[in-house]
Amino acid sequence: MTVLFIPFLPLVAFFVLIFFGRRLGKFAPAISLMALLGSFLVSLELFQILLHPEGIISYNPLRVSWDWLAHGEKPLTLGFNFDPLSAVMCLVVTGIGWLIMLYSTGYMHGDSRYSRFFAYLSLFFCAMLTLVLADNFLLLYIGWEGVGLCSYLLISFWFEKPAAANAGKKAFLTTRVGDLGLFGAILLIAKLTGDLSFADLPARAAMLGSWAPVVAVLIFWGAAGKSAQFPLHVWLPDAMEGPTPVSALIHAATMVAAGVYLVARTLPLFIPSGQGLAVVAAVGAFTSLFAATIACTQTDLKRILAYSTLSQLGLMMLGLGTGNSFAGMFHLVTHAWFKALLFLGAGSVIHAVHHQEITRMGGLWKKMPVTAGTFVLAAVAMAGIPPFSGYWSKEGLLTSVSQSLPAGYLAVAMLVSFLTAFYITRAVVLTFFGKPREESHAHESPAVMTGPLLVLAVGAAGVGLLGSPWMGHRMQHFLGVEAGHHEAPHWLESASVLIASAGIALALVRYGLGRQLLPEGLRAGLRPLYNLASAKYFVDEFYERVLLRPVRWFSGKLFGFDARVLDGAVNGAGWAGLRLSRFKRWVDETFVDGAVNGLGLTAGWAGGALRRAQTGLVQNYLLVASAGALIIFLLLR
């Protein structure tokens, strides 16, 4: 039962804030923070029970479930289940989430919808925690839609900006395309196995038979929408229009990881069909490389981070594509810490200089030492320099890839590692070092913002150690993965560090010292490629041409049809009604009124005629009386 507190505390906070938020004023965040802290502490407590299962519940995960719909002989059961995978997600979501929320109290200070923001955040946590704690597909889907809704609300939080409003719509519609896939998968699973629970998935994977690859690909389709994998990735960079804490929380650390979590959770359904895993690996690899190249060319700080997120999510998918859920999940956890830190650092910078162009920044480290220090730490963690967290997860991932997938995938992953180190170093150098390229009155952010940065920095540095050989692969044991089997070959360790260092070094030379890396001739030759990546490979334009324009054209036609035919029919019916009524009025006036008036007229006319008889002359009356008497006499005779 205790597990219920985790998603429901933020829900209570949401209701309190949505109804009384304005009255609470600047105390509004306190409600959210307390509720989420409660969730975090409950998660921690349950986590302790999971770690030391002896005693009351001999390794029986805490769970609660109830029958929701009784249909057929088998009732539809909804329930929450706190198992190791959920535990990891809960701790990441509530832990990082709490820090980001604390940061938001500073970042959003003075916003006109201050309490609304925290209400939405609370709702998001409720949905996200429902998603990760759900023990069946249906409840997961409810949480899935909930986080999608909150993502929409928070991206377009500043809906006065058209760009933000459009980005919200784009995110909602694009992820909805993905949700369709997940929904289809749920329907197929319900139809074929008659049960939506996550329990004994491997056994039910067998029941799917030849449908297994279809279900796997449909689930991945849903995951691709939420985690912004290649064909559906377009919404994530635009989502950066939202407030930066939202970008950090939802579009870097937690919600976009939901797709990865989903695939990790349902991995048993992927494993029997090689095709499903192959699709996951291929899409993941492609997305990671694709987004990494774009990230190297962007100049908007948040967009660099957004494409970096895409790239890292691709890597996680690639890791899951090996059939080893730990490879993806571990990277998810470490990525959540350092990417949240990067985004909050970026938010702190944006808060100080009021724009996002790295070409206009520079030399900020003197003015914002805490932000710069933590940002650099996060960058190093992401680049994969030991002993920081990114190194361990990325290396685990590379090991898994090298053991389970063709060599091409390893090469792609290596290339992505190199590019990651390169672009994040570029961002760091251009933002914090060198000479200031523009006058600014930047100053360090308040303690309520730098505090979370420091705590996150500790996580970004240290959380990877939990899965490292130095601490005996604790995380692997916790998640029930055989650690020894995935021991990295030594050459891979060295290669991974070398590649990351090379990326950092090249970026330092290029952007720190300002030297061109390639000869002039080659640069001119590669210019079109650069432009292509800089324009994000024209995917948005492609969608505009191929999808949106036909849809708009078709909508226009439908509108015309509507206006002409349907409105015409309605108006025609109205016109016919009018005509019919007029005819009826004519009938009424002519015949019905005619009859009534006719009676009156007749009576009047008859009266007028009879009136003549009343002459008033007494002799006339007498004459008539006499004549009448005579007639009666004659008749009676």
Partner 1 sequence: MIIPLSHVLVVSAGLFALGVFGALTRRNAIGILMAIELILNSANLNLIAFGRARGDAGGEAQVVALLVIGIAAAGAVVGLALVLAIYRHRKTISADEIKLLKG
513 versus 609: smaller Cβ distance to partner 1: 609
Cβ neighbours of residue 40 closer than 8 Å, sequence gap 6 or more: 91, 94, 95, 98
How far is it, in rounded angstroms, from Cα 158 to Cα 167?
Answer: 11
Candidates 50-58, 72-80, 424-432, 610-618: pick the segment binding partner 1 (CB under 8 A). Answer: 610-618
Candidates 34-42, 206-214, 298-306, 607-615: pick the segment binding partner 1 (CB under 8 A). Answer: 607-615
Burial class (CB in 10 A: 0-12, 13-18, 19+), 485: exposed
Q: Which of 70, 407, 513, 618 binds partner 1 (CB under 8 A)?
A: 618
Cβ of residue 614: shortest distance to partner 1, in angstroms? 3
581 versus 626: smaller Cβ distance to partner 1: 626
Given a contact cutoff of 8 angstroms between Cβ atoms, the answer to whether 156 and 242 are in contact is: yes
Candidates 454-462, 483-491, 541-549, 613-621: pick the segment binding partner 1 (CB under 8 A). Answer: 613-621
Q: Which of 617, 634, 635, 636 binds partner 1 (CB under 8 A)?
A: 617
Candidates 84-92, 353-361, 449-457, 621-629: pick the segment binding partner 1 (CB under 8 A). Answer: 621-629
Cβ of residue 630: shortest distance to partner 1, in angstroms? 10
- Residues 552-591: x where in contact with partner 1 by CB under 8 A, - otherwise, as a string: ----------------------------------------
Candidates 109-117, 351-359, 394-402, 617-625: pick the segment binding partner 1 (CB under 8 A). Answer: 617-625
Cβ of residue 623: shortest distance to partner 1, in angstroms? 6
110 versus 608: smaller Cβ distance to partner 1: 608
Cβ of residue 610: shortest distance to partner 1, in angstroms? 8
Q: Which of 54, 619, 635, 636 binds partner 1 (CB under 8 A)?
A: 619
25 versus 616: smaller Cβ distance to partner 1: 616
By CB under 8 A, residue 622 contacts partner 1: yes
Length of the chain, in residues: 637
Cβ of residue 632: shortest distance to partner 1, in angstroms? 15
By CB under 8 A, residue 612 contacts partner 1: yes
How far is it, in rounded angstroms, from Cα 51 to Cα 33?
Answer: 26
Alpha helices by DSSP H, 405-446: 407-432
517 versus 627: smaller Cβ distance to partner 1: 627
Q: What angle do CA 187, 127, 393 make, to 5 degrees?
A: 90
618 versus 636: smaller Cβ distance to partner 1: 618
How far is it, in rounded angstroms, from Cα 260 to Cα 319?
Answer: 10
Given a contact cutoff of 8 angstroms between Cβ atoms, the answer to whether 321 and 281 are in contact is: yes
How far is it, in rounded angstroms, from Cα 611 to Cα 616?
Answer: 10
Phi, psi of 68 (to 5 degrees): -100, -55
Cβ of residue 598: shortest distance to partner 1, in angstroms? 23
Residue 358 is which amino acid? I
618 versus 635: smaller Cβ distance to partner 1: 618
Given a contact cutoff of 8 angstroms between Cβ atoms, the answer to whether 287 and 256 are in contact is: no
Closest CA to 91 of 289, 336, 331, 276: 336
By CB under 8 A, residue 614 contacts partner 1: yes
Candidates 288-296, 406-414, 579-587, 612-620: pick the segment binding partner 1 (CB under 8 A). Answer: 612-620
Q: Give the position of tokens 């003015």.
A: 367
Burial class (CB in 10 A: 0-12, 13-18, 19+), 580: exposed
566 versus 623: smaller Cβ distance to partner 1: 623
By CB under 8 A, residue 637 contacts partner 1: no
By CB under 8 A, the residues from 100 to 119 that bind partner 1 are: none
Give the HSE-up count for residue 621: Cα atoms under 13 Å, Cβ half-sphere.
5
How far is it, in rounded angstroms, from Cα 135 to Cα 82?
Answer: 9
By CB under 8 A, residue 58 contacts partner 1: no
How far is it, in rounded angstroms, from Cα 126 to Cα 626?
Answer: 111
How far is it, in rounded angstroms, from Cα 61 to Cα 38?
Answer: 20
Q: Which of 581, 588, 626, 632 binds partner 1 (CB under 8 A)?
A: 626
Secondary structure E strands in 33-130: 62-71, 74-82
Cβ of residue 611: shortest distance to partner 1, in angstroms? 4
| Helix count and strand count (H, E) for the chain | 27, 2
Candidates 166-174, 479-487, 596-604, 605-613: pick the segment binding partner 1 (CB under 8 A). Answer: 605-613
Q: Which of 1, 56, 407, 613 binds partner 1 (CB under 8 A)?
A: 613
Q: How many residues bind partner 1 (CB under 8 A)?
A: 13
By CB under 8 A, residue 615 contacts partner 1: yes
Residue 110 is which amino acid? G
Closest CA to 186 of 143, 149, 148: 143
By CB under 8 A, residue 623 contacts partner 1: yes
How far is it, in rounded angstroms, from Cα 311 to Cα 318?
Answer: 10
Q: What angle do CA 186, 188, 193 make, to 5 degrees?
A: 95
DSSP letters of 375-401? HHHHHHHHHT-TTSHHHHHHHHHHHHH
By CB under 8 A, residue 634 contacts partner 1: no
By CB under 8 A, residue 628 contacts partner 1: no
The conformational region for residue 54 under phi > 0 = left, psi -120 to 50 = alpha, else beta, is beta
509 versus 622: smaller Cβ distance to partner 1: 622
51 versus 603: smaller Cβ distance to partner 1: 603
Cβ of residue 607: shortest distance to partner 1, in angstroms? 9
Given a contact cutoff of 8 angstroms between Cβ atoms, the answer to whether 325 and 398 are in contact is: no
Candidates 116-124, 223-231, 575-583, 615-623: pick the segment binding partner 1 (CB under 8 A). Answer: 615-623
Instruction: Give SS3 for 300.
Output: strand
Cβ of residue 608: shortest distance to partner 1, in angstroms? 9
By CB under 8 A, residue 359 contacts partner 1: no
Cβ of residue 588: shortest distance to partner 1, in angstroms? 35
By CB under 8 A, residue 611 contacts partner 1: yes
In the numeric block, which tokens belong to residue 102?
């604390």
187 versus 622: smaller Cβ distance to partner 1: 622
Q: Give the position of tokens 């960079």.
A: 237
How far is it, in rounded angstroms, from Cα 164 to Cα 174?
Answer: 15
What is the 8-class DSSP label of residue 136?
A: B
Instruction: Kindly list the residues in this chain that would bind partner 1 in the complex (CB under 8 A).
Output: 610-619, 622-623, 626
